Amino acid sequence: MTPLLQVKNLAKMYGARIGCTDVSFDLYPGEVMGIVGESGSGKSTLLNSMAGHLTPDRGEVIFDTRADGPVDTVTMSEPARRMLGRTDWAFVHQHARDGLRMSVSAGGNIGERLMAVGDRNYGNIRARAADWLGRVEIAESRIDDRPSAFSGGMQQRLQIARNLVTGPRLVFMDEPTGGLDVSVQARLLDLLRNLVREMGLSAIIVTHDLAVVRLLADRLMVMKDGRVVETGLTDQVLDDPQHAYTQLLVSSVLQV
């Protein structure tokens, strides 16, 4: 099987300072990978470098495109990369306002990607928006409300619907449950798990919450000072951590 994403020796520098470096891994279709580490460990830099929001200094990010097979997205043309960002890729921001148009209705937010790829049938766009509102458990009657009238958890679910409506194959998530109440978090986690399974999504989730990755991620990558210090099965890394830093990280989690 061809990996959906192959990252090879990816590095991003901020001047002389390391953002992230020497990152390599393969992600296969349907796999969910977690990236954990403390603030400043380079996990968000890595995510943004992979998703094309930052330009890496070295390395390749090879995506298995539908049309042409594996292509390095770092060197591909900007229009092609942006097109990928609207179709096969999705990016869920930690703060919903970074990923939503706050002055546009919920339906318009979901419909934008459809219109961006050429859907010109209002009835069809609206029906799909309504369907996705249902799938992320937002009442259809809220379709014409603006996200500013939504709670934090609803905004985050709307952001997910907006991202998944075009049926992407790879989702980047930056702390998707950060800043939410635990009850809202649980609901979102359940939703994400079901969507991942139903749609066969591959996902890369950056978080500092080990409980989140235990429930969502198949595999784990632990980062410290811009480098990957440990990788493996999520439960193996968490239950039998090999690296000193991972052991410290796991043992530092507060027990409820």
Partner 1 sequence: MSDYNFAYLDEQTKRMIRRAILKGLAVPGYQVPFASREMPMPYGWGTGGVQVSAATLTPEDTLKVIDQGADDTTNAVSIRKFFENTAGVATTEETEKASVIQTRHRIPEAELSEDQILVYQVPIPEPLRFLEPRETETRKMHALQEYGLMHVKLYEDISQHGAIATSYAYPVKVAGRYVTDPSPIPKFDNPKMNMAAIQLFGAGREQRIYAVPPYTEVVSLDFEDFPFEASKADHPCDLCAAEDSYLDEVILDDAGNRMFVCSDTDYCRSRRDAGHMGRLSEEAA
Partner 2 sequence: MIELQNVSKSFTLHNQGGAVIPVMEGASLGVAPGECIGLTGASGAGKSTLMRVIYGNYLAASGRVMVGGVDVAKAAPRDILALRRETLGYVSQFLRVVPRVPTLDVVAEPLLAVGVAPDAARDRAATLLAGLNIPERLWQLSPTTFSGGEQQRVNIARGFAHSYPAMLLDEPTASLDAQNRATVLRLIEEAKARGAAIIGIFHDEAAREQVCDRCVDVSAFTPKVAA
**Residues near partner 1, by CB under 8 A:** 78-79, 82, 86, 101, 103-105, 107-108, 111-117, 120-123, 125-126, 143-144
The least distance separating partner 2 from the CB of residue 187, rounded to whole angstroms, comes to 6
The answer to whether 172 and 50 have CB atoms below 8 angstroms apart is yes
Q: What are the structure tokens assigned to 29, written together?
A: 């279709």
Distance from chain centroid for Cα 196: 11
Q: What are the structure tokens assigned to 227, written together?
A: 């480098």
Of these partners, partner 2, partner 1, none, which one is at the site of residue 209 (CB under 5 to 8 Å by kind)?
none
Residues whose CB is less than 8 angstroms from the CB of residue 255 and which lie 6 or more positions away in sequence, other chains included: none
Of these partners, partner 2, partner 1, none, which one is at the site of residue 105 (CB under 5 to 8 Å by kind)?
partner 1
188-217 mask for partner 2 (x: CB under 8 A)?
-xx--x---x----------------xx--
- Of 121 and 236, nearer to partner 1 (C-beta) is 121
Q: What amino acid occupies position 212?
A: V
- Of 125 and 204, nearer to partner 2 (C-beta) is 204
Total chain residues near partner 2 (CB under 8 A): 26
The least distance separating partner 1 from the CB of residue 33, rounded to whole angstroms, comes to 29
Q: Is 219 in the site for partner 2 (CB under 8 A)?
A: yes
Q: What amino acid occupies position 80?
A: A
Q: Is 186 in the site for partner 2 (CB under 8 A)?
A: yes
- The C-alpha atoms of residue 87 and residue 117 are separated, in whole angstroms, by 8
CA-based max dimension of the chain? 56
- Of 117 and 149, nearer to partner 1 (C-beta) is 117
Distance from chain centroid for Cα 216: 12
20-59 mask for partner 2 (x: CB under 8 A)?
--------x--x----------------------------
Alpha helices in the chain (DSSP H): 43-50, 78-86, 96-99, 106-116, 122-135, 152-164, 182-199, 210-216, 234-239, 244-251
- Of 8 and 53, nearer to partner 2 (C-beta) is 8
The answer to whether 114 and 128 have CB atoms below 8 angstroms apart is yes
Of these partners, partner 1, partner 2, none, which one is at the site of residue 42 (CB under 5 to 8 Å by kind)?
none
For 11-21, b where at least 16 C-beta lie within 10 A, e where not — what string? bbeeeeebbbb
Phi, psi angles (nearest 5°) of residue 48: -70, -30
- Of 104 and 189, nearer to partner 2 (C-beta) is 189
Binding site for partner 2 (CB under 8 A): 28, 31, 183, 186-187, 189-190, 193, 197, 214-215, 218-219, 231-233, 235-236, 239-240, 242-244, 247-248, 251
